[in-house]
């Protein structure tokens, strides 16, 4: 029996007491956890110590490298076109990957969108795409390369060989209350994206109640950390800070979001989804050296739709097939007339999850049909009795708990307010990133209240809801 280089209890104690882990300790603990030498309960203790006491810049960088080194790296250098990828920190109604990948591919930029399945209140990109009859998420490396060579875009599952340490650690963090920690979020995302092998990357860092980062300052710090990690690894990289205080678009749920994405590709769809899709496409094209084109044109003239159909068909899907529809629906109506002044993204997301659109454990199935249609959003006028939401599910016994999650989620007041000027709140690139990122303490203790005139009003709150006008 071989002797281990370190004692895991000593590593835990160092971080518990506010100390720094050296490079050798980090390399060892990631490798030992991957091998099963470090037990789940021990890594849970270390993750909580990091959550409470943070990490220095050097520690984050080394932790990221160690997770990358736990597996293989992909190489797209043989492609005849540049590669560009996007990663979102996740939110409610975030279906942007679906129209974005084919849109960018129109301009001869390859998009290797290696995606995941959702945990918690929202489904992932793969959950959404799997609502298309026949579509396959699991592709071999040769199939991925073929899609990128021919179609120019692929949305598929990341192989098990990419950063296996992160896959194991993320599942643990999800069940131990240590997900929303800047060092661990940044290293998790960037270890996979650097290992993926793309030459450029655009990050969509969400801000608001439906996001990991509840306030703009912590979202900017997360973005800066990830941009710095990517830049040091040689990526062309930037990040957009985007609003997640209200749901994105007018649908939440897997098949419902695919339908909305197709509407965007057809030249329609909700204005916030169109805005963010085009904004991210411009950044991806700029990072890939194609800043001379306007991707909005490809949405308007049908080229992006053509590319979508190629991409879906290339992975076995039928782009003309009817999407699954729920057998049971229920309408929630406005109880007062006026203007919608707030719509809490997290509440909508939890309700959609309770209807069956998300999963609590990675092995749980999701309902492709489940979710929520949003008929009115902040800034819009409503009359008493008008439909606000339609709940969709295959299991009607879930509806009552979904309604409970929506209690107080929508506020109606006499004055028109609450509509955002733009979903894009800011931008972070290597030029504006501090080189010394310093120490990150526990990160998510500030709640985001309602938007007012396009600005974010921050207020320290206990767990619970922001002040609202008339609840539904």
Q: What is the pLDDT of residue 463?
A: 28
Annotated catalytic residue within 70, 188, 199, 347 = 188
Please indicate whether residue 218 is annotated as part of the active site: no
Max Cα separation, the chain?
Answer: 73
Q: What is the pLDDT of residue 119?
A: 64
What CA–CA distance (Å, rounded) separates 172 from 334?
Answer: 41
Contact 438, 56 (CB under 8 A): yes
Q: What is the pLDDT of residue 444?
A: 27
Q: What is the pLDDT of residue 177?
A: 85
Annotated catalytic residue within 173, 218, 377, 447 = 173
Please indicate whether residue 87 is annotated as part of the active site: yes
Q: What is the pLDDT of residue 419?
A: 66
Annotated catalytic residue within 62, 86, 87, 309 = 87
What CA–CA distance (Å, rounded) separates 20 from 322?
Answer: 55
Q: Model-level pTM? A: 0.87
Q: What phi and psi, each to the nearest 5 degrees, are found at residue 280?
A: -70, -40
pLDDT in tens, 196-245: 889 999 999 999 999 888 999 999 999 999 999 999 999 999 999 999 99
Q: What is the pLDDT of residue 418?
A: 65
Q: What phi and psi, each to the nearest 5 degrees, are found at residue 388?
A: -100, -45
What CA–CA distance (Å, rounded) separates 428 from 299?
Answer: 26
Annotated catalytic residue within 15, 86, 192, 290 = 192
Q: What is the pLDDT of residue 424?
A: 96
Please indicate whether residue 121 is annotated as part of the active site: no
Phi-psi region of 8 (alpha: psi -120 to 50; beta: other; left: phi over 0): alpha
In this prediction, residue 447 has a pLDDT band, given cuts at 50, 70 and 90, of very low
Please indicate whether residue 166 is annotated as part of the active site: yes
pLDDT in tens, 296-328: 999 999 999 999 999 999 999 999 999 999 999
Q: What is the pLDDT of residue 460?
A: 27
pLDDT in tens, 361-412: 767 788 999 999 999 999 999 999 999 999 999 999 999 999 999 999 999 9
Above 90 in pLDDT, residue 456? no
Please indicate whether residue 245 is annotated as part of the active site: no
Annotated catalytic residue within 27, 166, 215, 228 = 166
Q: Which residues pair with 201 in a beta bridge?
A: 85, 237
Q: What phi and psi, each to the nearest 5 degrees, are found at residue 447?
A: -95, 145
Average pLDDT over residues 289-298: 95
Above 50 in pLDDT, residue 467? no
Q: Which domains does the chain have, with CATH numbers?
A: 8-53 (1.20.970.10), 85-314 (3.40.1030.10), 328-413 (3.90.1170.30)
Q: What is the pLDDT of residue 167?
A: 85
Higher-confidence position of 456 and 258: 258
């Amino acid at each position: 029996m071989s002797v281990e280089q370190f004692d895991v209890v000593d590593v835990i104690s160092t971080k518990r007491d506010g100390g720094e882990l050296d490079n050798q300790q980090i390399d060892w603990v990631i490798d030992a956890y991957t091998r099963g030498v470090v037990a789940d309960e021990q890594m849970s203790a270390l993750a909580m110590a990091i959550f409470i006491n943070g990490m220095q810049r050097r520690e984050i960088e080394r932790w990221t490298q160690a997770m990358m080194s736990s597996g293989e790296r992909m190489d797209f250098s043989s492609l005849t076109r540049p590669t560009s990828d996007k990663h979102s920190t996740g939110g409610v109604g975030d279906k942007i990957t679906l129209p974005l990948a084919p849109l960018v591919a129109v301009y001869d930029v390859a998009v290797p969108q290696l995606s995941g399945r959702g945990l918690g209140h929202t489904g992932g990109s793969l959950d959404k795409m799997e609502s298309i009859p026949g579509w396959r998420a699991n592709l071999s490396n040769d199939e991925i390369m073929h899609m990128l060579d021919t179609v120019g875009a692929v949305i598929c599952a990341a192989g098990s060989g990419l950063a296996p340490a992160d896959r194991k650690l993320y599942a643990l963090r999800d069940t131990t209350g240590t997900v929303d920690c800047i060092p661990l979020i940044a290293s998790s995302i960037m270890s996979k994206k650097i290992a993926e092998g793309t030459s450029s990357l655009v990050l969509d860092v969400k801000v608001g109640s439906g996001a990991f980062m509840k306030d703009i300052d912590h979202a900017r710090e997360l973005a800066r950390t990830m941009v710095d990690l990517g830049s040091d690894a040689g990526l062309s990289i930037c990040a957009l800070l985007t609003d997640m205080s209200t749901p994105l678009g007018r649908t939440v749920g897997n098949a419902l979001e695919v339908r909305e994405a197709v509407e965007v590709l057809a030249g329609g769809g909700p204005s916030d989804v169109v805005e963010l899709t085009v904004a991210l496409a411009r950044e991806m094209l700029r990072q890939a050296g194609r800043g001379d084109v306007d991707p909005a044109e490809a949405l308007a003239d049908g080229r992006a739709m053509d590319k979508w159909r190629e991409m879906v068909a290339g992975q076995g899907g039928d782009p003309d097939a009817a999407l699954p529809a729920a057998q049971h629906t229920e309408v929630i109506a406005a109880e007062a007339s006026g203007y919608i002044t707030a719509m809490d993204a997290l509440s909508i997301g939890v309700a959609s999850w309770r209807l069956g659109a998300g999963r609590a454990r990675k092995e749980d199935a999701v309902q492709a049909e489940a979710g929520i249609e949003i008929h009115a959003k902040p800034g819009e006028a409503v009359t008493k009795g008008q439909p606000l939401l339609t709940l969709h599910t295959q299991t009607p016994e879930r509806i009552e708990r979904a309604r409970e999650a929506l209690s107080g989620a929508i506020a109606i007041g006499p004055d028109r307010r609450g509509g955002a000027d733009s979903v894009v709140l800011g931008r972070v690139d290597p030029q504006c990133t501090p080189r010394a990122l310093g120490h990150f303490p526990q990160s998510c203790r500030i709640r985001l209240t309602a938007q007012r005139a396009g600005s974010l009003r921050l207020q320290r709150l206990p767990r619970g809801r922001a002040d609202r006008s008339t609840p539904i």
